[in-house]
Amino acid sequence: MRVVVAGGSGFLGSHLCEALLRRGDSVCCLDDFSSGPAANTDPLLRTSGFERLPCDVTAPFQVTGDVDAVVHLASPASPYDYQRHPLRTLAAGSRGTENLLELALRHRARFVLASTSEVYGDPQVHPQDEDYWGHVSPVGPRSVYDEAKRFAEALTMAYRRAEGADAGIVRIFNTYGPRMRAHDGRVVSTFVRQALAGEPLTVFGDGSQTRSFCYVDDLVDGLVAMLGTDLPGPFNLGNPSERTVLELADLVRRIIGSDAELRHLPLPVDDPVRRRPVIARARAALGWTPRVPLEVGLRRTVGWFAARPDEAGREGAWFLPA
Ligand code: NAD
Ligand code: UDP
């Protein structure tokens, strides 16, 4: 297969590119390097079958040659990033999705949209299965991301129904691992960076809110499985093992052997209180199940950050000016 990976130089995208190349696919990575450094995929430029096309998928772009599949990962993804770049985020979900669906349709290629657990908003149903319609503020600070992804899902289903596109959706829950940006503001990268530096861990609110953390390798397995079907989904992809933010802070400190303090800061507006995926559908239809326990994945992540002190010291939180 020749797979176009939009957002392929990002955290998830670079791991996906590697997995596809490992199994013998060719990969065309599209990225504007706005939140994923080129360094993530520079080493792949020496791998046969890999090419990289610097471009913004919300503007016209051209991919030449065969295309068998398109994966759309190109969007600001952390709350820190998307709230600083609201218009880019809305464009990535709308124009970016449309451009990539058109590319897939022209080639009769498989299309997979990387949607998110954020389509469930601050859920009033727990845990969340795919039939839940969500509880999203259309005007709050997170809406640029949540609504962009909801629109992207609607667009994907419209192309499938009206145009016969072989398009499907996965809803990704909080995923962590090597190559997260140290300053992306997400909780795992932030706690690991702070604990390694001996700084206080910034807990928003009282830390009783929950998330369910999936290791990146597991998530990539799910994306690859989705590429291999013609199913529409949506499928939740995530690890159902649910933790409070305080539990995560304790685990990170224990792994690092840190006695860093906790610093409580105000809870951000509309921060979801609880989040845990039901993954029965992905298990049954994709034969997919996450395998890496949180402690194992965190140890790998800590090891990666610990080996890159420069990364953690880098002040820039965003590669483009806000
Ligand atoms: P990331 O920021 O590391 O990756 C996004 C990549 O897309 C970056 O390389 C960025 O430069 C690129 N990009 C952004 N806008 C672009 C544009 N207009 N044109 C071309 N390239 C563009 O984030 P990630 O965590 O790897 O997330 C990847 C995708 O998965 C995103 O769509 C995100 O919404 C989704 N997702 C991720 C998670 C998670 O926990 N990591 C959870 C839910 C959904
Ligand atoms: N969080 C925190 N301290 C931080 C960053 C995040 O307590 O320094 C909390 C945040 O309020 C949320 C959870 O951790 O409840 C997960 O946040 P993240 O930004 O990683 O992902 P999302 O909110 O998109 O699930």
202 Cβ below 6 A of ligand 2: yes
Whether 245 is covered by a domain: the verdict is no
200 Cβ below 6 A of ligand 2: no
Beta bridge partners, 240, equal none
Q: Burial of 38 by CB count in 10 Å (0-12 exposed, 13-18 middle, 19+ buried)?
A: middle
Nearest ligand to the C-alpha atom of residue 99: 1
Print pLDDT tens along the chain (322 aa): 999 999 999 999 999 999 999 999 999 999 999 999 999 999 999 999 999 999 999 999 999 999 999 999 999 999 999 999 999 999 999 999 999 999 999 999 999 999 999 999 999 999 999 999 999 999 999 999 999 999 999 999 999 999 999 999 999 999 999 999 999 999 999 999 999 999 999 999 999 999 999 999 999 999 999 999 999 999 999 999 999 999 999 999 999 999 999 999 999 999 999 999 999 999 999 999 999 999 999 999 999 999 987 776 565 444 555 4
Nearest ligand to the C-alpha atom of residue 270: 2
d(CA 233, CA 126): 20
Whether 228 is covered by a domain: the verdict is yes
Note the pLDDT tens digit of each residue in 214-224. 999 999 999 99
The domain of 13 spans: 2-181+214-240+275-292
pTM of the shown model:
0.97
Q: What's residue 314's pLDDT?
A: 60
Whether 249 is covered by a domain: the verdict is no
Whether 53 is covered by a domain: the verdict is yes
61 Cβ below 6 A of ligand 2: no
Residues with CB under 6 A from ligand 1: 7, 9-13, 30-36, 56-58, 73-77, 92, 96, 114, 116, 172, 174-175
Cβ-contact 32, 58 below 8 angstroms: no
Beta bridge partners, 277, equal 128
Whether 24 is covered by a domain: the verdict is yes
d(CA 47, CA 41): 10
Whether 196 is covered by a domain: the verdict is no
Query: How many whole angstroms from 49 Cα to the centroid of ligand 2?
Result: 37
As for how many domains the chain has, the answer is: 1
Domain containing 152 — which CATH number? Answer: 3.40.50.720
Query: How many whole angstroms from 190 Cα to the centroid of ligand 1?
Result: 18
Residue nearest to atom 24 of ligand 2 (CA): 79
The pair of structure tokens assigned to 215 is 């290791």
Whether 309 is covered by a domain: the verdict is no
Whether 192 is covered by a domain: the verdict is no
